[in-house]
Amino acid sequence: QKEVEQDPGPLSVPEGAIVSLNCTYSNSAFQYFMWYRQYSRKGPELLMYTYSSGNKEDGRFTAQVDKSSKYISLFIRDSQPSDSATYLCATATQGGSEKLVFGKGTKLTVNP
Amino acid sequence: EADIYQTPRYLVIGTGKKITLECSQTMGHDKMYWYQQDPGMELHLIHYSYGVNSTEKGDLSSESTVSRIRTEHFPLTLESARPSHTSQYLCASSDRGTASYEQYFGPGTRLTVT
């Protein structure tokens, strides 16, 4: 079983839709949960991170972690064509946070 | 935008050649990383460094080697390239003062070995 599972999609939505991206993980020791965004032919960039359980909101983006079910979510409200990218979830343990464990990434296309 | 650079961006090379992928950052970050990314697959850590003269192997076994003689420079070398080395290689860095999940990535080098 992979440590982080992520549906690779692809996911195609109309502009303005609410997008839900999800990952599951297996290692209870994971404490840091990140979402990276990767545009085509670019390196990933950190979008949001959460420590332990809970929600975090940043503009149109909300990251959610449910440690009881080992479930990570990223919600995008009012999606825009500029949100079209691959979204990678990543996790890390406390004290070992140099070693990020990534999901495969979900490719999202927002159609105008 | 992060100041981390990788050269070359694309490289097509024959089997058996020695290659060096360059990575430089101007942010003064202590920690640097090399990842391998294949299409539709996870990023896998192949090397990392905590600072000058520090190098460690990552979780994915790799025939490549790295060096860290200067803070800003973290080159990756393949002594004898093989078709199995065809992949995208991503370099990243993070600051000692922040959690290492905040990694800044370069644009990547897409390597094809024929």
For B41-89, the pLDDT digits (tens) are 899 999 999 999 999 998 887 889 999 999 999 999 999 999 999 999 9
Using DSSP's 3-state secondary structure scheme, residue B82 falls into: coil
Chain A residues with CB-CB distance to B45 below 8 A: 99-100
Sign of the CA dihedral running B100, B104, B106, B109: positive
Q: Report d(CA A5, CA A19) in Å as an integer.
A: 18
Among B86, B91, B89, which residue's Cα sits nearest to residue B103? B91
Of A4, A46, A101, the CB nearest to B103: A46
Instruction: Count CB pairs under 8 A between chains A and B.
Output: 62
Q: Report d(CA B38, CA A87) in Å as an integer.
A: 15
pLDDT score, position B2: 60
pLDDT score, position A78: 98
Look-up: residue for tokens 């961006």? Answer: B9
Tokens of A21: 């991206």
pLDDT score, position B22: 98
pLDDT score, position A80: 98
Is the Cβ–Cβ distance between B68 and B53 less than 8 Å? yes
Of A97, A99, A104, the CB nearest to B59: A99
Give B106's pLDDT tier (boundaries 50, 70, 90). very high
Give B95's pLDDT tier (boundaries 50, 70, 90). confident
DSSP letter at A102 equals E
Low-confidence spans in chain A with pLDDT less than 50:
none
Q: Provide the percentage of residues in chain B whose pLDDT is more than 90.
A: 77
pLDDT score, position B78: 94
Is the Cβ–Cβ distance between B114 and B16 less than 8 Å? no
Using DSSP's 3-state secondary structure scheme, residue A97 falls into: coil
Q: Is the pLDDT of residue B97 over 90?
A: no
pLDDT score, position A98: 65
Chain B residues with CB-CB distance to A49 below 8 A: 99, 101-102
Of B31, B101, B107, the CB nearest to A32: B101
pLDDT score, position B16: 95
Residue A8 or residue B15, greater confidence: B15
Q: Is the pLDDT of residue B20 over 90?
A: yes
pLDDT, average across residues B84-104:
86
Residue B9 Cα, gap to closest chain A Cα (Å): 9
Helix (H) or strand (E) holding A65: strand A61-66
Pairing of strands A106-111, A85-93: antiparallel
Q: Report d(CA B44, CA B59) in Å as an integer.
A: 7
Q: Which residues between 93 and 112 in chain A have a beta carbon less than 8 angstroms from any beta carbon of chain B?
A: 97-105
Chain B residues with CB-CB distance to A8 below 8 A: 40
Of A32, A43, A104, the CB nearest to B106: A43
